[in-house]
A = this chain, B = another copy of it.
């Protein structure tokens, strides 16, 4: 196992312009693990209740995901989220959140998970993320996600956490909220001064940027999805693809990071094409590779050679 992924495992009810699903498999750790599973060996750390369908366990195992870290609370209920997307699916409303077993979740890493080189701290309470960090031994790369709730209510823990992670992965609105800087490059600079050597700013359908202390900025658009169905989990899928790719290359230099960003974006593009993990479960390697190559073609251009200027 190369990658340990900690986060929520959920049942999601999602209403979107083109359909809906009820109590479908979801959660940050699920999306990220499935994405990473195509290219690296993954162990998942999370918690579910006795109501969690056995078939989902089977589906995750079929993807080669190690579930020793998945705690099952027989008399508890699984984390449940109910959301609705607007006609412009960049906007959504949360209609209901039941934390259930997630409310008292305290992630415990099995002994076999503690010395793994790549760790993804999915979006959970920052003090739990710090707990996980105390359980691992010399990880090579720690990638951390968070959300607006923790930025508002747990700022101190979050800043303590930042000092111990290598890469922070957040969206543009969260970056502005955390740093109180409106410009994204300025927000990224603020974050790079507080611990992480790299920060990924996700911009939804507009792609994402990687800011590095040693490699400046690198930006990619999102892979264009003609018929997006459900963006739930796209950010988690991205993060899982990103760290999975790095683990597969066993390199964390600038060139690998850039490709990893693209790989994460490609995995996220599959995610939004169906509800839940519907389009993520049965991908072919050739399909993923094809989209990575499309991505390359859609972003590369010749270096400039200028003649005389009209200054």
Contact = CB atoms under 8 A, between A and B. Distances in A.
Interface of A: 37-41, 63-64, 87-89, 176, 182-186, 189, 203, 205-207, 209, 216-221, 224-228, 248, 255, 258-259, 261-263, 283-285, 288-289, 292-294, 296-304, 306-311
A238 to B, nearest CB: 16
**CB-based closest 8 A-B pairs:** A285-B309, A219-B221, A206-B206, A258-B301, A185-B224, A292-B304, A185-B226, A217-B298
Residue of A64, A285, A296, A299 with most partner-chain B CB within 10 A: A299
B183 A228 contact: yes
Contacts of A219: 207, 221, 224, 298-299
A123 B186 CA distance: 32
Contacts of A217: 224, 298
Given A184-B205, A221-B220, A289-B306, A262 B38 contact: no
Nearest to A306: B289
Nearest to A227: B183
A38 to B, nearest CB: 6
A276 B40 CA distance: 52
A224 B220 CA distance: 13
A299 B299 contact: yes
Contact of A306 (B226, B283, B285, B294): B285
B225 A185 contact: yes
A183 B231 CA distance: 13
